[in-house]
Amino acid sequence: MDKFIVEHSRELSGKIYVSGAKNAILPVMAACLLAPGKSVLKNVPNLIDLKTMAHLLRVIGARVDYENGSMSIDSKDVCYPEAPYELVSKMRASIYVLGPLLARLGKARVSFPGGCAIGTRPVDLHLKAMEALGAEIEIEHGYINAKADQLTGGDIYFEKSSVGATINALMAAVLAKGKTRMFNAAMEPEVDSTIDLLLKMGAKIEGKGSTTLEIEGVEELFPVQMEMIPDRIEAGTFLVAAALSTKPVTVCNCNPEHLTALLEKLRETGCGLQINGGDITVNPPETIKATNILTLPHPGFPTDLQAQFTVLMCLADGISFVEDTVFPDRFMHVAELNRLQADIQMQRNVARINGVKKLSGAEVMATDLRASAALVLAGLVAEGTTTVSRIYHIDRGYDRIEEKLNSIGAKIRREQG
Ligand code: EPZ
């Protein structure tokens, strides 16, 4: 298993570039099943999770090709409505094929996703939404068996804001007969970009950017070409790296409108920010001020940046509190950060961080994608050498993170093993 050897290298400076958004591309890849023919997605990074989704689409019968950041998906011949355990257990986002398969083939058999390092993560909202559209669902031998000769529009109320359930329901509703209304829909940029793709394909959807969506089902959808949005979580990870630096860093090719909550928090820590189109320059403060964060559905502070921001607070002047209301147990990184001599105490589901003057390099272990990114950031500011093992987690969602960070002065070496 590969590891990162991270040397203390806090003097980051220059420009760092953001790739296309993994969490926007995954649902859009699944949505390509809805429009028979060849769709093309641009600005697609080379990530393990996207390869896993490509593998799944091939199992279903699509042809997927990838070259130079461009992915083509030909879904003319999809015929096998199944997401097998071996793929779903690798990547929960495989559940995204449920809605498209039901809409296109009238049936789907998707392995029931298990828990993961960030919590139990149920899929009840996905299933309730499919039932509201007339699907019959049975759970048997670890699989979700769903069928519907013809999906029909209906009202869907999401008890909880869910990115995945909103997108899955959208993908089913666009080909359902009649009108669907969704209440308390998620408003993440990844939901909007899926809506943009579906609209381009010929779907009828109103309410984009709000929590109430109205969908009028259409008979068929058509393949399209689309440029993928920048990854706000990769951008946010680099912005936090910049805040930890001793020199200005510019994060290029991002969408500042997707990052409002983080930018506000960075200002509170004392960072100077200059926004120029899709480029954000961070002038890091001499002393990082402590501030509290509470993660919430968009436009609140994203759970996917909680671990990285926690690292910033480890070095702040004062005490801060971090609470994750989206995934309350997402704190596996805390014990690892304490190995680097951070001073964090968990008080039930709230991290109380007592800022320290310095961290000290040690061996740590990555537990999930964003926790791994946080440990790499911590390694940059820790004195001496930090070894981050199990970095396959990071390769799932960051395209060559070490090369990108090294291009602005980080000292990170990948050791194969
Ligand atoms: C998406 O997961 C992202 N994954 C996650 O990013 C992200 O952390 C999460 O949204 C929240 O922003 C992808 O886009 C592939 P949810 P998703 O449904 O859709 C509960 C990363 O690091 N819930 O919005 O699975 C759930 O337990 C990953 O890139 C139910 O109770 O998240 C959570 O508390 C990790 N029942 C809340 O809703 C359900 O049926 C929000 O989860 C579904 C969700």
Q: CA 381: distance to chain centroid?
A: 25
- Please say if the pLDDT value at position 115 is more than 80: no
Whether the Cβ atoms of residue 287 and residue 178 lie closer than 8 Å to each other = no
> Alpha-carbon distance 182 to 154, whole Å?
8
For residue 274, give every residue at least 6 positions away whose Cβ sits within 8 Å of its Cβ, in sequence order, or none: 280, 281, 283
Whether the Cβ atoms of residue 112 and residue 123 lie closer than 8 Å to each other = yes
CA of 260 from ligand 1 middle (Å) equals 20
How distant, in Å, are the alpha carbons of 68, 73, 228, 378 from that of 43? Answer: 9, 14, 6, 29
How distant, in Å, are the alpha carbons of 174, 282, 355 from that of 247? Answer: 48, 9, 21
Burial class (CB in 10 A: 0-12, 13-18, 19+), 4: buried
Whole-number percent of the chain with pLDDT over 70 = 100
Q: Name which residue sits closest to atom 10 of ligand 1, judged by CA.
A: 163
Q: What share of the chain is helix, strand, coil (3-state, %, to 5)?
A: 35, 30, 35
- Please say if the pLDDT value at position 242 is more than 90: yes
pLDDT the model gives residue 371: 96
For residue 196, give every residue at least 6 positions away whose Cβ sits within 8 Å of its Cβ, in sequence order, or none: 208, 226
Whether the Cβ atoms of residue 311 and residue 244 lie closer than 8 Å to each other = yes
CA of 239 from ligand 1 middle (Å) equals 23
- What average pLDDT score do residues 212-236 get? 98
* From 139, 162, 262, mutation site for ligand 1 pocket: most ligand atoms within 8 A of C-beta: 162
CA 298, 54, 145, 85 torsion: positive or negative? negative
**Rounded mean pLDDT of the chain?**
97
> Alpha-carbon distance 185 to 157, whole Å?
8
Among the CATH numbers 1.10.3720.10, 3.20.20.80, 3.40.50.2300, 3.65.10.10, which is that of 22-227? 3.65.10.10
- State whether the beta carbon of 397 lies less than 6 angstroms from ligand 1: yes
- State whether the beta carbon of 93 lies less than 6 angstroms from ligand 1: yes
pLDDT the model gives residue 119: 79
Whether the Cβ atoms of residue 347 and residue 317 lie closer than 8 Å to each other = no
SS3 364: strand
Phi, psi (rounded to 5 degrees) for 396? -65, -30
pLDDT the model gives residue 365: 94
- Please say if the pLDDT value at position 116 is more than 80: no
- What average pLDDT score do residues 312-333 get? 97
Residues with catalytic function = 116
Q: Name which residue sits closest to atom 14 of ligand 1, judged by CA.
A: 23
Sequence spans of domains, the chain:
3-18+230-415, 22-227
CA angle 356, 313, 120 (to 5 degrees): 120
- Please say if the pLDDT value at position 114 is more than 80: no
> Alpha-carbon distance 264 to 216, whole Å?
37
- What average pLDDT score do residues 66-92 get? 95
**How do residues 338-396 score in pLDDT, each as one tens digit?**
999 999 999 989 999 999 999 999 999 988 999 999 999 999 999 999 999 999 999 99
**How do residues 129-173 score in pLDDT, each as one tens digit?**
999 999 999 999 999 999 999 999 999 999 999 999 999 999 999
**Placement of tokens 């991002």 in the chain:** 254
Q: CA 178: distance to chain centroid?
A: 31
- Residue 29 — left, alpha, or beta (φ > 0 → left; ψ -120 to 50 → alpha)? alpha
> Alpha-carbon distance 310 to 332, whole Å?
12
Q: Name which residue sits closest to atom 5 of ligand 1, judged by CA.
A: 304
> Alpha-carbon distance 342 to 352, whole Å?
11
Q: Name which residue sits closest to atom 44 of ligand 1, judged by CA.
A: 162
Is it true that 3-18+230-415 and 22-227 share their CATH fold? yes
- Rounded to two decimals, the pTM is 0.98
Q: Locate 271 and state its tokens.
A: 């960072």
Residue 344 exposure: Cα atoms within 13 Å on the Cβ side: 30
How distant, in Å, are the alpha carbons of 51, 75, 251, 297 from that of 22? Answer: 11, 20, 18, 18
Q: What is the CATH code of the structural domain delimited by 3-18+230-415? A: 3.65.10.10
Amino acid letter, 14 = G
Whether the Cβ atoms of residue 24 and residue 229 lie closer than 8 Å to each other = yes
- State whether the beta carbon of 121 lies less than 6 angstroms from ligand 1: yes
- What average pLDDT score do residues 276-282 get? 98
